[in-house]
Structure 1
Amino acid sequence: MPETGYLAVFLIGLLGGTHCVSMCGGIVGALSVQVQTPGSRGRQWPIHLAYNLGRITTYVVIGSLLGALGSVGMLYDGVLPVQITLYVLANLMLIALGLYLTGFTRLLVPVERAGHMLWRRIQPATRRFLPARSVKQALPLGLLWGFLPCGLVYSILATALVTGSATRGAGLMLAFGLGTLPNLMLAGMLFKRFRDLTRNGKVRFASGLLVLGFGVFGLFHAPSLGGQLWSGIVCTI
């Protein structure tokens, strides 16, 4: 049975799917169009799966690096204050994301804009794999696309710092990536219908409230670093 913390992160990835589709929907939609040739319908699943495997792999690697970085920070005196500070920051990011999805605020836009500095350097390399008509092209495309500036991803990466472990940081991002997988696979296979659904104001509002709830719960339980909800992720040394 999975630890409750990893299950919580999986659910955040699943619930935040409306944001995932808005950020990555363009590329998965393009993949759908590019493989729509006579007799090629059966090739869609492998191409979309390869793309998402690459994307999730990038999340896992970055999560591992941030988890390791968090462990270095916690070697200093006063480990608990450091953990609580990072934990509060991570949950504030979740609250901002929830408010972003509901349409109340666009607080995460500056964060995503800051990430564009790195993305501007990476994006030109994606052109080498477009149009992606095979798994060999889709996999590296997904690896690069994993660096796309995204407030949802950044919110979970902030939590990876709190894990204080490269292994837990990687596991956290794997759980999150798997949570985003159903939305992006559906967006790829049923692009127009699913895009219209995720743009529905009521759907985005409901998703935002649920993600907001995770952040508020986390802040309320900050003294115990999330209590049972984040069990298995946050190490209370």
Structure 2
Amino acid sequence: MLYSALLLGLISSLHCMGMCGPIAMMLPVDRTNETKKTIQILLYHIGRLIAYGSLGIIFGLLGRGLYLAGMQQNVAIASGIIMITIIAIPEKKFAKYNFSKPIYKVISSVKSGLGAQFRKKSNEAIFITGLLNGFLPCALVYAALFGAIAMQNALLGGLYMVLYGIGTIPMMSAVVYVSNMLTSPLRNKLNSFIPYAVAIIGAFFILRGLGLGIPYLSPETNSLFVQGIPHCK
């Protein structure tokens, strides 16, 4: 299911253009030197990937615990249902009851840190901006994190989120170069496509957990997950 991470990242980037796009547009990159500008944009993305990967490892560990508890299928099914639920909730209502409330002070510190980095123009500041950006609350990042849980492995959870981040890079990089083309009507049209695409990915996770015997899509229950330790008699 790792391929779904790239797809989810690409889809999320349509949403990111409206939410995180302004951050990318305001990056203090060197606009007089294209080579330096490209390097700085890469540093920004590397920061985001590290943040996503770190979160993926944590949630992958959570999934590993559920795996050891014998909940492999249930985790995949629940992850798919939660993905669909998250995208079905209007964003304004989701923001009112989102996961960031218990750590509001931490999120406020992240936002303050972002503001401080914008006043600098060093490569380090741009990298830290990307790192902090990756920890900002976002409904679609939450959806991806449930995909990381379904990986039921810390390293695979981290890889899932890194691939998710890589999927967002093309559009988030384009924002820096073609910001004047991203009109509000265009963003609205792109955003209208997102719920359907995320719902399809969520459905894939549900099918995966059901073990219907469909090759690659929903394999038999006993082949859904690789056993780490063989049972020897």
TM-score, with structure 1 as normaliser: 0.79
- The superposition leaves residues 165-185 of structure 1 with CA deviations (integer Å, 9 ceiling, x where unpaired) of 111111111111100111111
Cα separation, 2, equivalents of 1:175 and 1:49: 15
Aligned CA distance change for structure 1 residues 196 and 48 (closer, same or farther; 3 Å): farther
Deviations 1:108-132 (A, max 9, x none): 4332653761311322222332234
Which structure's CA Rg is the greater one?
2
Question: SS where residue 68 of structure 2 aligns?
Answer: coil
CA contact (8 A) 1:54 1:141 kept: yes
Larger relative contact order (CA 8 Å, sep ≥ 6): 1
Aligned residues: 219
- Check whether the contact 1:44–1:189 (CA below 8 A) recurs between aligned residues: no
The Cα of 1:188 is off from its aligned counterpart by: 1.7
Cα distance, 1:27 vs structure 2 = 0.7
Give 1:172's aligned residue: 160
Report the Cα distance in structure 1 between the residues aligned to 2:180 and 2:81, rounded to whole angstroms: 33
Distance 1:115 1:180 in 2: 27
- 1:66-98, Cα deviation, whole Å (9 max, x unpaired): 21232233333xx1xx23333233212322354
Question: Is 1:94 the equivalent of 2:87?
Answer: no
Counterpart of 2:11 in structure 1 is 15
Within a 5 Å distance, the mapping from 1:86-125 to structure 2 comes to 86-99=75-88, 105-106=90-91, 108-109=94-95, 110-111=97-98, 114=101, 117=104, 118-125=106-113
Match of 1:138 in 2: 126
- Superposed, which structure 2 residues align to 1:55-204 within 5 Å? 55-76=48-69, 79=70, 82-99=71-88, 105-106=90-91, 108-109=94-95, 110-111=97-98, 114=101, 117=104, 118-194=106-182, 196=184, 199-201=187-189, 203-204=190-191
Question: Shift in Å at residue 196 of structure 1?
Answer: 4.0
Q: State the partner residue of 2:230.
A: none
Are residues 35 and 60 of structure 1, via their aligned partners in 2, closer, same or farther at CA, if it must alter by over 3 Å? closer
Q: Which runs of 5+ in 1 are unaligned?
A: none
Please state whether the residue corresponding to 2:182 is helix, strand or coil: helix
Preserved CA contact (<8 Å) 1:112 1:150:
no
Structure 2 residue runs of 5 or longer lacking an equivalent are: 228-233
Partner of 1:26: 22
Do the aligned partners of 1:66 and 1:169 also contact (CA within 8 Å) in 2?
yes
Cα distance in 2 for partners of 1:178, 1:23 equals 17
Q: Scaled by the length of structure 2, what TM-score is found?
A: 0.80
Residues 73, 209 of structure 2: 8 Å contact kept: yes
**Larger displacement relative to structure 2 (147-156 or 161-170):** 161-170
Q: Which residue of 1 aligns with 2:44?
A: 51
Shift in Å, 1:49: 1.6
The letter of the residue matching 2:79 is: A
User: After the TM superposition, which of the residue ranges 120-129 and 58-67 deviates more from structure 2?
Assistant: 120-129
Aligned residues of 1:186 and 1:194 also touching (Cα < 8 A): no
Deviations 1:172-208 (CA, angstroms, capped at 9, x unpaired)? 111111001111111122123135475133x222233
CA distance in 2, matches of 1:178, 1:230: 26
Match of 1:206 in 2: 193
Give yes or no for contact 1:112–1:151 (8 Å, CA) kept in 2.
no
User: In the TM superposition, what is the alpha-carbon distance from 1:153 to its structure 2 partner?
Assistant: 0.7
Q: Is the 8 A contact 1:97 1:212 kept in 2?
A: no
Q: Secondary structure at the match of 2:3?
A: helix
> Given the superposition, is the C-alpha separation of residues 211 and 172 from structure 1 closer, same or farther in structure 2, using an over 3 Å criterion?
same
CA RMSD of aligned residues (A): 2.8
Q: 1:93 to 1:12 in 2, by over 3 A?
A: same
Identity %: 23
